[in-house]
Amino acid sequence: MATAYTWHPGTGVDRPRWVRSVPLLPDEIISSWLVRAALAQGCDPMVLTGEIWPKWRLWTRDADRFLDDAPLNKLVAPAGISLSCFRAATLKNVAERFSKGPLPEKAVWPWILALGARNTKRRSGLQYCPACLRDDGIPYYRLQWRFSWHVGCEHHHCLLLDRCPHCGAPFEPHRLHAEDGHVAVCATCSGNLRGVGAITPCSDDAMAFQNAGDEAIRHGRSQFMAQLTETDAWFVGASFLSALLRRANRSDAEALHSFLESMGIAAPALPLNPGTGVELLGTAERHLLLDALWKLMRTDLAEVSMHLQKSGITRQGFVSKGERMPDLFAEVFAQLPDNARGPRKLAVREPGQPRPRHEVMRMWRRLQRRLEMLQR
Ligand SMILES: [Zn+2]
Ligand SMILES: [Zn+2]
């Protein structure tokens, strides 16, 4: 297992300038390597990066992006590691495979966990598997622990952690000091991160979503509602459906709710902050979301379309205002009733004909809400 890798094999060093050589480990993310390189030379990570890039405060930004090769080039000679090996350890290398346009310098990258960096302090954004760190000869952080479609460890099938199990702080390995010795230490409370913390099993559906996302990136396409779909369309489709799932608990989304119910999917109970993408959610929240998302994505598109039509959802309920609908759903969308404002059509019902189920459910929920308000 020590040599197993998914994203890059890592590399040894070739005639480094530094006295203590630091190989790049399999799947290691570049910030982890930078911190280990500093600790190995006996200095703090911020001191080392200040030496390499005197005018560039690396840790005030996302140190794993490396949009340009120029700063990476400065590492090649001292480390004895090639530019292409360093490039493979950056987030840019992965994000550009599913992002159509150029990646922004500062804004959040789609499907990459946002650090929420403020000066050198982080809000979150890095996850880890306590069992992996325990099993590592040399503990290190993996590239995939920054992916927002990852919530579990593929080796240990447990949920990843995004907070220190001792003090609840986010992981900030760049704030470690030379005397800490290795990266499996919390920079806030100095607690040990190896093999500690609650081992919660990761749901099979969330893990299946994660694997399908990996496949989309590694092989250029993956299954989406039983259709082989190109990488960028796969992620755009997943974003669209995750927004749909997050809307399902809104009080005005009865039809959407009954659509999910009819498919046997429980709408994930998530705090609803419109405008916050999956990149800003914590691991536990994403676990719920991705579990429900895969139940949708593994179902045949024709079947999903049938359930949508039965639920009575309108085009306006399916695609919310300002949202771009993926081409994948064009046909499904065309078959939904249009509720656009304009000359309002009155539903004509023969006397004695029963109301459709979704209408009854809507009336029932409205009544329940009124009763709840009265009881307050
Ligand atoms: Zn693990
Ligand atoms: Zn801690």
- pTM passes above 0.75: yes
- Rounded to the nearest angstrom, the distance between the alpha carbon of 7 and the centre of ligand 1 is 15
* CA 351 / ligand 1 centre spacing (Å): 63
Q: Is residue 193 within 8 Å of residue 141, measured between CB atoms?
A: no
Give the Cα separation of 169 and 334 in Å (integer).
47
Q: What six digits make up the tokens of 16?
A: 């480094």
Residue written as token pair 């078959």 = 335
In this structure, are 176 and 209 located in the same domain? no
Tell me the average confidence (pLDDT) per consecutive run of 10 residues in the chain, 376 residues long: 80 94 97 97 95 92 92 96 97 91 90 80 85 96 98 96 94 94 96 87 98 96 95 95 88 89 89 73 93 96 95 93 90 92 53 68 67 60
**60, part of any domain:** yes
Picking from 129, 148, 180, the residue at the C-terminal end of a domain is 180
Q: Which helix (H) or strand (E) holds 229?
A: strand 227-230
DSSP, collapsed to helix, strand or coil, labels residue 135 as: helix
State the residue for tokens 């709408």.
Answer: 267
Q: Is residue 24 part of a domain?
A: no
Within a domain: 248 = yes
Same domain, 240 and 104: no
Report how far ligand 2's centroid is from the alpha carbon of 209 (Å): 30
Q: Could you tell me the residue range of the domain that residue 155 belongs to?
A: 30-180
Q: Ligand 1 centroid vs 156 CA: distance in angstroms?
A: 5
Other beta carbons within 10 Å of 327 = 11
Say how far apart CA 228 and CA 234 lie, in whole Å: 9
- Same structural domain, 327 and 218: yes
Indicate if 223 and 330 belong to the same structural domain.
yes
Verify that 173 and 210 share a domain, yes or no: no
**Spacing, Cα 170 to ligand 2 middle (Å):** 8
CA of 281 to the centre of ligand 1 (A): 21
The closest of 32, 34, 25 to 5, measured between CA atoms, is 25
Q: How far apart are CA 98 and CA 77, in angstroms?
A: 31
Task: Examine the domain organization and report whether 174 and 208 are in the same domain.
Answer: no
- How many angstroms separate the alpha carbon of residue 163 from the centre of ligand 2? 8
Any idea of the CA torsion for 208, 211, 217, 223, to the nearest 10 degrees? -40
Cα–Cα distance for residue pair 303/307, rounded to 1 Å:
6
Residue 287 belongs to a domain: yes
190 CA from centroid of ligand 2 (Å): 6
Q: Which of 147, 180, 213 is the last residue of a domain?
A: 180
Number of the ligand closest to the Cα of 166: 2
Question: How many Å lie between the centroid of ligand 1 and the Cα of residue 120?
Answer: 27
121 forms bridges with which residues in the sheet?
118
DSSP E strands, 140-210 = none
First to last CA, the chain: 58
pLDDT value at residue 349: 59
Long-range contacts of 3-6 (CB under 8 A, 24+ apart): 6/144, 6/154, 6/214, 6/218
Claim to verify: residue 268 and residue 144 sit in the same structural domain: no
Distance in angstroms (rounded) separating the CA atoms of residues 65 and 77 = 20
Q: Which amino acid is at 262?
A: S
Provide the pLDDT for residue 170. Answer: 93
Determine, yes or no, domain membership for 14: no
Tell me, yes or no, whether 309 lies in a domain.
yes
| Same-domain check for residues 46 and 158 | yes
162/240 same-domain check: no
38 and 48 Cβ atoms separated by less than 8 Å: yes
Asked if residue 279 is part of any domain, the answer here is: yes
* Ligand in closest contact with the CA of 155: 1
- Interval between CA 120 and ligand 2 midpoint (Å): 17
Q: Is residue 112 part of a domain?
A: yes
Structure tokens at 224: 């989406």
User: Based on the structure, what is the number of domains in the chain?
Assistant: 2
Rounded distance between C-alpha atoms, residue 113 and residue 228, angstroms? 26
Question: 131 C-alpha vs ligand 1 centroid, how far in Å?
Answer: 5
Q: In 68-160, which ranges are continuous DSSP H helix? A: 69-79, 83-88, 92-95, 130-135
Please indicate, yes or no, whether residues 120 and 171 belong to a single structural domain of this protein. Answer: yes
Are 38 and 115 part of one and the same domain?
yes
User: What's the token pair of residue 246?
Assistant: 């997050």
In this structure, are residues 143 and 26 in contact, taking their beta carbons and an 8 Å threshold? no
**Bridge partners (DSSP) listed for residue 161:** 128
The answer to whether 126 and 66 are in contact (CB under 8 A) is no
Residues 172 and 36 in one domain: yes
What's residue 199's pLDDT?
85
